[in-house]
Chain A
Amino acid sequence: MNAIVISAIWGVVMMFSGIFSKNNAVIRGTAVTGLALLIVVNCLELDGTSLFKVNVHGLLYFNSFSLLFNTIAFGSTLLFTLLSGRDMERVGRSTPDYFALIFFILCGVSISSSFNSLLMLFLGIEIMSIPLYILTGTDKRNLKSNEASLKYFLMGSFSTGLMLMGIALIYGAKGGFGLDVIRFGTTELTPMISAGLLLLLVSMSFKVSAAPFHFWTPDVYDGAPTVFTSFMATVIKAAGFIAFLRLFDDAFGDLHPKWQLIVAVVTAATLVIGNITAVFQQSVKRMLAYSSIAQAGFMMFALVALNETGKQGLLFYTAAYSVATIGVFAVLIKMKDYTFEGFNGLAKRQPVLAATTAVFLLSLAGIPGTAGFMAKFYMLTAAVSNGHVLWLVIVGILCAAISVYYYFRVIQAMYFKDGEAQVAEVSGTFKFLLVVMAAIVVLLGIFPQWLLDKLYFFLI
């Protein structure tokens, strides 16, 4: 509850901050303070201290899973702001508004990670999405940004419509919106429930860009200003997954054997399409868009397996994936040329940038010694221990092998090819932050228990 209230308030604070100060550094400072505050109050709630006593009538349910995820999401946003906050100013003149929108999104994130009723799910997802439509279109003079925004809005509204229809059908069948009401006694697939379930599956798949509902993703990610793509591909996507998992675990957990196969097929399709299409991209930004689809495929393993390992793993995966992706995007923003050739010879000109990017890419590819490996390891363990989806595991590892191709293309360009990579001016602080993030990625890869211990003790 702490996070929801504070993030909403701070969003308003950010909106008005532009009136009191024209200095962007002050505005950025306010945003960073707000994020730090969010992390603190959220951790307080994890410890059992709730600042606000609100009777939510069972609409929201805060457990350690959702609160831990909030911490991860706020932490990622903080890293993102510290690294790329300055680049937001280059998008347009209304920096305070961008930060305000980001705080509203975080409010939506905390609602959709802790919903206990389909109404709240709907609200959370919408609060998250609408500011995002605006952020996508912030580069007003760029036609691609406009197109992306409109496309995202239309497709998003469409999937929201489907979600509402699904919610209505489920309500019709069970007579309530609460997840416990829906779960109680639901062991058979009646026509109403199966139709509702399918509609919810489709709309959630759309939100997390799972195939075959992923077509908006590359265009939107490519058209949006790169700073916001970074945010979209990490925090928003992760929040979508947490909501997805909570919905299917808490409301439809007893029907798991019945929907497992269809989700497994969606997962396999996501993996295959995401990875194979990423191979053919010429622009690193588009490649990262497809890679985010591919990574979504791996995160869906948690949903397919639906066991404790999977749930812990999903949280770990979101953390590992967010840190690495934010890092890669932060470097990408600094590049003049977004094609693979644009990275040629980066290692000679900017060794720190190249080395840290290499670490992030190795993590995304899932090489041992990085957080990405532990994340994939957890997902594979979850799926193998489930026992019914070994074929999906094999598809998964073949796709992981394909993913090496496009991640390593960037490493090859940076290290093995000669060229004059054009990079914008980077500050010492920026490099320092990148090194810190790379260190986090490596340390989480070697000593994952620093995060896993927390997950384990809070979840059990």
Chain B
Amino acid sequence: MIPVLLIVVPLLSGLAAFFIKQEKGVKTWALLSTVITLVVSLLGLTVLNKAANLHADAEWLPLLGSRFTVGLDGMGQVLCLLTAVAFPIILVATWNSTYKQAHNFYAFMLLSQAGLMGVFLAYDALLFYFFWELALIPAYFLCSIWGGEKRIPVTFKFFVYTFIGSLLMLVGIIYIYLHTPDQSFALDAFYKATLTNKEQGWIFWLFFIAFAIKMPVFPFHTWQPDAYEQSPTAVTMVLSGVMVKMGLFGVIRWLAPVLPMATWLNGDTVALLSVIGMIYASLIAMQQDDLKRLIAYSSIAHMGLMCMAIFVTSEQGMQGVMIQMFNHGVNIIGMWIVVELIERQTGTRKISELGGLAQKAPGLTIMLVIVALANVALPLTNAFIGEFLLFTGVFNSTVSKNSHWFAAAGGITIILSAVYTLNMIQKVFYGNTSSLTASFKDIRFNERLVLGILVIVIVVIGVYPRPFLALTQETVDTILSRMIIKQPS
């Protein structure tokens, strides 16, 4: 019941939003819909937390052996919660932005939420593929219609990259499907597929490229900074906060447990790519003058760390990925909100043209500093828990012989991330005011509200992460036992 609602509510309200022509009306409608989704998601997490409520199954394509199977396990709960939390926050934070043809904008936003929910809930490979693409189409329209100056080519590049990736994945899905014992697309059938090591080896890359483009992992990342820069900020928040998690999620649910041998075999290669990407992205982030690009590159570095931890597998690492997927989403949305606020008032995102905001807007500064410190994983913030687990996991991993090296190289990026983040804070918020920032006003109520909520989430998870870790423990156990790393308990 719960999973169906999570998909249907945004889907139907999104379709309805196309017909609400008043801007105010459609804004309220969208907010209402996302709040309902959030409530449903919270109910699924707490009160209605029974297996019967968390799974649904219906006939879909009987001839092909594909069923409409959706369900919520621990990992699904975390990511659906992230999606459910992110959208109302984004809508409130950008409440004062105006869009031409607002009804279309909010309709596409809600449809992309439906697509994302579907990806995180699907237990059937064909259904997963459907939602995987359906999340992309609204994003394509959102970026191309309401984006910046170079939006059309940039968004197109983003689209083609992901589309090629997903087609490769489709071939992989079909191949595994033909080798399942009962010719079915169900996740359980995929676990039972009989594939030789050689077959696993090449199917692995079909899947991995699709997920790597989405994350993005070096060298498939080139679409990302441009797309983040050119998209309207509300969409950038969706892309970077939620949509990139599709890649990690895909690896954890559809790649590692389905093709365990290949994951073992290629683990070091992927980890190496991740490490290269992390260092490379951190170094570039240090050179950036544009706030959006800086955050985009920092995001590549953080995603690389999570990807590395999945492939240098260990229990702590996997737990770290679970919690860090949520944390990264929350933190980066916080960062984007601040950027959006600055850009809306000053009209620029160039670090060199800003300065002295702390005098003008103390409220904003406090919020930003907390979010930024969370971004560099300071203790007491949520990202510290996540990254600590990730690094311990990578360091102690028994799967890879080179895990120490990976951990050490990854550690450098933490230092680099502190360098560029603190540098950014210093240049934007301290120093003398520039002509653009002289008349800067502090944040309004709604912005204070969402940033406040984000800060509370950051600190609460940073201090008391146990409920979260308990939630995903079972998923981690299942996946590790599928990967023949841990005995099923």
Contacts and interface: CB of A to CB of B under 8 A. Distances in A.
B63 A453 contact: yes
A435 interface: no
Nearest to A385: B178
Interface string A44-64: 000000000000000000000
B405 interface: no
A384 B175 contact: yes
A69 B159 CA distance: 35
A376 to B, nearest CB: 9
Contacts of B467: none
Interface stretch (A239-247, A253-261, A317-325, A397-405): A397-405
Interface string A378-400: 00110011000000011001101
A412 B340 CA distance: 26
A380 B160 contact: no
B126 to A, nearest CB: 8
Is the contact region of chain A dominated by helix, strand, or loop, or is it mixed?
helix
Interface string B437-456: 00000000000000000000
Interface string B256-282: 000000000000000000000000000
Given A415-B144, A416-B145, A368 B130 contact: yes
Contacts of A401: 160, 163-164, 167
B151 interface: yes
B151 A416 contact: yes
B47 interface: no
A393 B145 contact: no
User: Interface centre among B132, B141, B151, by most A CB within 10 Å?
Assistant: B141
B152 A384 contact: no
A131 interface: no
A367 B174 contact: no
Interface string A89-115: 000000000000000000000000000
Contacts of B145: 415-416
A176 interface: no
A207 B156 CA distance: 35
A362 B163 CA distance: 12
A401 B161 CA distance: 9
Contacts of A417: 152
Contacts of A369: 130, 133-134, 137
Contacts of B164: 397-398, 401
B52 interface: no
Is the contact region of chain B dominated by helix, strand, or loop, or is it mixed?
helix
A456 B152 contact: no
A377 interface: yes
B61 A449 contact: yes
Given A412-B144, A416-B145, A449 B175 contact: no
Contacts of B151: 416
Given A416-B145, A449-B61, A453-B63, A405 B160 contact: yes
A404 B159 contact: yes
B167 A381 contact: no
Contact of B171 (A362, A368, A380, A416): A380
B155 to A, nearest CB: 9
B167 A400 contact: yes
A452 interface: yes
Given A397-B167, A397-B168, A368 B160 contact: no
Contacts of B144: 412, 415-416
A139 B109 CA distance: 47
B133 A368 contact: yes
Interface of B: 61-63, 129-130, 132-134, 137, 141, 144-145, 151-152, 156, 159-160, 163-164, 167-168, 170-171, 174-175, 177-178
9 contacts: A369-B134, A381-B178, A397-B167, A401-B160, A404-B159, A412-B144, A415-B145, A448-B61, A449-B63
